[in-house]
Amino acid sequence: MAGGTALKKKPVTGMRDILPGEMELRQYVLEEIRRTYRSFGYTEIETPVVEHLENLLSKQGGDNEKLIFKILKRGEKLEAAYGAGDKEGLADAGLRYDLTVPLARFYAENQAALPNPFKALQIGPVFRADRPQKGRFREFFQCDIDVFGDASPLVEIELILAISTVLNRIGFGRLHPFRIVLNDREILRGMQRAAGFPEEDFEKVCISLDKLDKIGKEGVKEELLSAGYSEDMIEKYLELAGNPGTEPGDVLDLGKKLEGCIEESVCPNLAFIMSSVRSAEDVPVRVEFDPTLVRGMGYYTGPIFEIRTEGFSGSVGGGGRYDKMVGRFLGKDTPAAGFSIGFERIITIMMEDGTGEKLSAKKTAFLLDKKLDRERTAGALREAMRRRNEGETILLTHMNKNRKFQKESLSKEGYSEFVEFFV
């Protein structure tokens, strides 16, 4: 054994190494995401992976707040906390569980140096100490676009067009036709008001309603009954939310039914978003109203949306308006809305499709005889550099004894042309 005890080869529990095949697909998708979002005027920023614990534990992250990786204090501060028996005080920072909380902090901190409205693109790893399970990892990438300082529906229209353009450009949309379902938190609130649920129970009732696709109408009804709500209220709610149609006109009709329980502009605003997205004909995208859509995070305040694909449960992306979050940092509310593409989900599906294998450009391997002299080696290097500068991929490597096997192995890596340099 070289150099003492053997070290650990496997990654830390729940995290993973990414091999070249998947990495090529990830980079291809990330490049298309960046190129597309940039063309909409979103500008990229970056926040630290490490965030203040106070910010992470500010009741904006829902259940994610239970899954934080905390970072131990160092030096004297650690000694002090330990010595004082202050268990909670051992850590002062944590790994971010999403990109939205750090982005709101970023905007609050840097507002003066940013344009108004500010269109942000952020891509990076986030961390959740979730129970490890197949296809679910404790470190994963998120790719978010967000707009601060603009309350108009143009924001949502552009968010939806941008994400649809990405899904089509990477070839995902062709294989997996998707649709974007929309709702508005204010419509949910209006329906609860109209049905008679108490104002202060809004979040709580939403949590039950969010389970509709998992436990069905009967399950939701049972849950609400056992929480003490009357059958009458529940029936009224389910009738309002049950099948009003998916078109912009249906949103307007529901708005009329909810008159007095909802601000007048809410339904026309959502209908305008839907019809505007449809009218941008260059992007073939299906948008549908769904009054049962809730979206988990408590911070949403207005329109919410989610991307659904045939054949896959759950979503491949989603977002919405959250006009109250920046206020937690700044003391002054700022309109905000964002969309997070389900990057890891999309990569998993595309790997299963075999998309990764079709990406490679032409690659050439130069095989050099091990005894090649300095002059011939220099010639091979010059030729390799010339072709690389023209954009080609040239691998320069020594010839193995078993050249046939070597070429077969290289073929599997995508090398289709071989140039041999003999003594």
Restricting to residues 291-350, name those near a second copy by CB under 8 A: 324, 327-333
Stretch that binds a second copy, among 69-77, 183-191, 202-210, 313-321 (CB under 8 A): 69-77
If binding is defined by CB under 8 A, does position 51 make contact with a second copy?
yes
Alpha helices in 47-153 (DSSP H): 53-56, 75-83, 100-110
Residue 236 binds a second copy (CB under 8 A): no
Phi (first) and psi of residue 341, to 5 degrees: -80, 140
Residue type at 143? C
The answer to the question of residue 69 lying near a second copy (CB under 8 A) is yes
**x/- binding map, residues 77-106, to a second copy, per CB under 8 A?**
-----x----x--xx-x-x---------xx
Q: How far apart are CA 342 and CA 19, in angstroms?
A: 20
Determine, following the binding rule CB under 8 A, whether residue 242 of this chain makes contact with a second copy. Answer: no
Q: Which stretch binds a second copy (CB under 8 A): 68-76, 200-208, 251-259, 343-351?
A: 68-76
How far is it, in rounded angstroms, from Cα 320 to Cα 305?
6
Considering the complex, what minimum distance in angstroms separates the CB of residue 206 from a second copy? 18
Q: Site for a second copy (CB under 8 A): which residue of 286, 344, 377, 407?
A: 377
- Determine, following the binding rule CB under 8 A, whether residue 419 of this chain makes contact with a second copy: no
Nearer to a second copy, 130 or 223 (CB): 130
What is the C-alpha to C-alpha distance for residues 378 and 382, in angstroms, rounded to an integer?
6
* Residue 18 lies near a second copy (rule: CB under 8 A): yes
Which residue in the set 65, 70, 223, 312 belongs to the binding site for a second copy (CB under 8 A)?
70
How far apart CA 174 and CA 167 sit, in angstroms, is 9
Residue closer to a second copy (CB basis): 230 or 409 = 409
**For the window 244-273, what string marks contact with a second copy as x by the rule CB under 8 A?**
----------------------------x-
When binding is defined by CB under 8 A, the residue of 80, 86, 152, 417 that contacts a second copy is 152
- Buried (b) or exposed (e) across 250-270, using 16+ Cβ within 10 A? bbeebbeebeebbeeebbebb
| 352 binds a second copy, rule: CB under 8 A | no
Per CB under 8 A, the segment of 210-218, 223-231, 307-315, 381-389 that binds a second copy is 381-389
| Region of residue 402 (left: phi > 0; alpha: psi -120 to 50; beta: else) | beta
Residues of this chain, 167-226, that bind a second copy according to CB under 8 A: none
DSSP structural state of residue 88: G
For the chain, report the end-to-end CA distance as a whole number of angstroms: 38
Contact range with a second copy by CB under 8 A, out of 154-162, 172-180, 200-208, 212-220: 154-162
Rank residues 248 and 319 by Cβ distance to a second copy and give the closer one: 248
From 197-205, 249-257, 286-294, 365-373, give the range in contact with a second copy by CB under 8 A.
365-373
DSSP result, 182-246: EEEHHHHHHHHHHHT--GGGHHHHHHHHTTHHHHHHHHHHHHHHHTT--HHHHHHHHHHHS---S
Q: Which residues contact 285 (CB under 8 A, 6 or more apart)?
A: 160, 161, 164, 178, 179, 180, 277, 278
Nearest partner of 252 among 235, 272, 238, judged by Cα: 272
Residue 292 vs 301, nearer CB to a second copy: 301
CA 118 to CA 47: how far, in whole Å? 15
Taking the complex as a whole, the smallest distance from the CB of residue 215 to a second copy amounts, in Å, to 28
The token pair that represents 131 in the structure block: 């129970």
368 token code pair: 């050099």
Q: How many CB atoms lie within 10 A of CB 410?
A: 19
Q: Which of 176, 257, 363, 407 binds a second copy (CB under 8 A)?
A: 363
* 21-34 b/e (C-beta count within 10 Å ≥ 16 → b): ebeebbebbbebbb
Task: Tell me the closest approach of the beta carbon of residue 6 to a second copy, in angstroms.
Answer: 6
Binders of a second copy in range 26-45 (CB under 8 A): 26-27, 31, 34, 36, 38-41, 43-45
Closer by beta carbon to a second copy, 284 or else 314: 284
Between 116 and 230, CB nearer to a second copy: 116
Q: Please, which residue, 108 or 205, has the CB nearer to a second copy?
A: 108
Q: Which is nearer to a second copy, 8 or 134 (CB)?
A: 8
Verify binding: residue 132, a second copy, rule CB under 8 A: no
